[in-house]
Structure 1
Amino acid sequence: MLKKIISISTLCFGLYAVFLTFGAAKPAAKKPNVLFICIDDLRPDLKVYGNPIVHSPNLDKLAGQATVFRNQYVTQPTCGASRYSLLTGRLPRRPVELKNEAIEQQIAGKRRTDKPETFIDNLRRNGYYTVGIGKVSHSADGYVYEYTEPKSDKLELPNSWDEMLFDPGKWQTGWNAFFAYADGSNRQAKKAEVKPYEKADVPDESYPDGLSANLAVKKLKELAKKDQPFFLSVGFFKPHLPFTAPKKYWDLYDESKIKLTDSPDVPENVNEASLHPSVEFNQYQLGEEKASLQKPVSDVYARKLRHAYYAAISYTDAQVGKVLDELKAQGLAENTIIVVWSDHGWHLGDYRVWGKHTIFDQSLRSVLIVKTPGNKKAAVRDQIISSVDIYPTLMELCGVKTLPELDGKTFTDLLKPKPGKNWENVAYSYYNRGITVRNDRYRFTKYFREKQPVVELYDHKSDPHENHNVAEQHPEVVAELTKIWEKGNTGVFN
Structure 2
Amino acid sequence: MRKKYLLLYICLLVTFCHGNAQSKQKKKPNILFICVDDLRRELGVYGSEVITPNIDGLAADGSLFLNHYAQVPTSGASRACMLTGCLPKNKSDLSNEACKIRLSDREEGDEPETLFHQLKRNGYYTVGIGKISHYADGYLYGYSKPKSCKLELPYSWNEMLFDAGKWETGWNAFFGYSDGSNRQNRNREVKPYECADVPDDGYPDGLTANLAVNKLKELLNKKQPFCLAVGFFKPHLPFTAPKKYWDMYDEKKLLLSPTPDLPSGCSKLGFHNSDEFNGYLLGEEKASLDKRMSDVYARKLRHAYYACISYVDAQIGKLLNVLKDTGEFDNTIIVLWGDHGWHLGDHRIWGKHTLYETALGSALIIKAPMMKKGVRNERIVSSIDIYPTLLDLCGVQHPKGLDGHSLTELLSDPEKASWKDVSYSYFNNGVSVRVPQYRLIQFWNGNDSVLELYRYKKDLFERKNMNEDKIVKSILPILRKGFINTAF
TM-score by length of 1: 0.93
Residue equivalent to 1:443: 439
Query: How far apart, CA to CA, are the structure 2 residues paired with 1:469 and 1:450?
Result: 21
**Aligned pair partner of 2:282 in 275, 281, 286:** 286
SS across alignment from 1:435? strand
Q: 1:486 maps to which residue?
A: 480
Q: Deviations over 1:37-64 (max 9, x none)?
A: 000001111111111x211010011111
Shift of the 94–25 alpha-carbon distance from structure 1 to 2, 3 Å rule, reads: closer
Return 322-331 or 251-260, whichever deviates more: 322-331
Q: Return the match for 1:38 from 7, 16, 35.
A: 35
User: Could you tell me whether the CA contact under 8 Å between 1:92 and 1:490 is conserved in 2?
Assistant: no
Once the two structures are TM-superposed, the CA of residue 377 in structure 1 deviates from its matched residue by: 2.2
Output the amino acid matched with 1:269: G
Q: Is 1:476 aligned to 2:474, yes or no?
A: no
Identify the match of residue 237 of structure 1 among 233, 237, 254.
233
* AA aligned opposite 2:286: K
Equivalence for 1:341: 337
Separation (CA, whole Å) in 1 of partners of 2:195 and 2:415: 44
* Cα distance in 2 between the residues matched to 1:384 and 1:418: 11
CA distance in 2, matches of 1:313, 1:199: 13
1:261 alignment partner, one of 257, 261, 272: 257
Which of 68, 73, 81 is matched with 1:72 structurally? 68
Q: Distance in 2 between matches of 1:66 and 1:441?
A: 25
The structural deviation recorded for 1:262 is 1.0
Q: Name 2:461's counterpart in structure 1.
A: 465
Aligned residue for 1:202, secondary structure, equals coil
User: Letter of the aligned partner of 1:447 in structure 2?
Assistant: F
Matched residue type, 2:474: E
Structure 2 CA distance for partners of 1:451 and 1:257, relative to 1, 3 Å: farther
SS in 2 for 1:383: strand
Mapped pair 1:166 → 2:162: yes
Which structure is larger by alpha-carbon Rg, 1 or 2?
1
Confirm whether residue 209 of structure 1 aligns to residue 205 of structure 2. Answer: yes
Letter in 1 for 2:102: Q
Q: CA deviation at 1:492?
A: 4.3
Give the AA of the match of 1:32. P
Residue-by-residue CA offset, 1:459-489 (whole Å, 9 max, x unaligned): 0110111111011xx2111111001001101
The number of residue pairs the alignment matches comes to: 478
Q: Return closer, same or farther for 1:25/1:316 CA change in 2, 3 Å cut-off.
A: closer
Which letter does structure 2 place at the counterpart of 1:326? V
CA–CA distance in 1 between the matches of 2:449 and 2:160?
Answer: 46
Q: Is the 8 A contact 2:117 2:157 kept in 1?
A: yes
Counterpart Cα distance in 2 of 1:451 and 1:487: 20
Equivalent-residue separation in structure 1 for 2:355 and 2:462 (angstroms): 11
Distance 1:184 1:81, change over 3 A: same
- Given the alignment, which residue of 246, 250, 256 partners 2:246? 250
Distance 1:105 1:143 in 2: 14
1:191–1:451 Cα change, 3 Å: farther
> How far is the alpha carbon of 1:376 from its aligned partner?
6.7
> What amino acid does structure 2 have at the position aligned with 1:36?
F
User: Are the equivalent residues in 2 in contact too, given 1:64–1:376 (CA < 8 A)?
Assistant: no
Partners of 2:412 and 2:267 in 1: CA distance:
43
Report the AA paired with residue 484 of structure 1. I
Q: Is the contact between residue 459 and residue 466 of structure 1 (CA under 8 Å) also seen in structure 2?
A: yes
Partners in 2 of 1:356 and 1:373 — Cα distance?
34
Whole-Å separation in 1 of the counterparts to 2:369 and 2:395: 14
Output one character per residue of 1:126-184: Cα deviation in whole Å (capped at 9) or x when no partner: 00000000000000000000000000000000000000000000000000000010000
Whether 1:410 and 2:406 are equivalent positions in the alignment is yes
Secondary structure, in 3 states, of the residue corresponding to 1:316? helix
C-alpha separation between the residues in 1 aligned to 2:44 and 2:484?
A: 36
Q: After TM superposition, list the pairs within 5 Å mapping 1:65-214 onto structure 2.
A: 65-214=61-210
Q: What SS class does the counterpart of residue 382 from structure 1 fall into?
A: strand
Gaps of 5+ in 1: none
Structure 2: which amino acid aligns with 1:148? Answer: S
**Identity value in percent:** 56
Q: Is the 8 A contact 1:379 1:417 kept in 2?
A: no
Amino acid at match of 2:119: L
Q: Mark the runs of 5 or more structure 2 residues left unpaired by the alignment.
A: none
- In the aligned structure 1, how far is the partner of 2:487 from the partner of 2:109? 28
RMSD: 2.2
Given residue 110 of structure 1, which amino acid in structure 2 is its aligned partner? R
Alpha-carbon distance between aligned partners in 1 of 2:91 and 2:236, rounded to the nearest angstrom: 24
Deviation at 1:450, TM superposition (A): 4.5
Given residue 185 of structure 1, which amino acid in structure 2 is its aligned partner? S
State the shift of 1:330 in Å.
3.0
The one-letter amino acid paired with 1:43 is R
Shift in alpha-carbon separation, 1:241–1:25, aligned structure 2, 3 A = closer
Contact in 2 for aligned 1:253/1:307 (Cα 8 Å) = yes
Asked whether the equivalents of residues 391 and 397 of structure 2 are also in contact (C-alpha less than 8 Å), the reply is: yes
Separation in structure 2 between the aligned mates of residue 452 and residue 250 of structure 1, nearest angstrom: 47
Distance 1:378 1:152 in 2: 43
> In the alignment, is the contact (CA less than 8 A) between 1:65 and 1:375 conserved in 2?
no
Corresponding residue number in structure 2 for 1:391:
387
TM-score (norm 2): 0.94
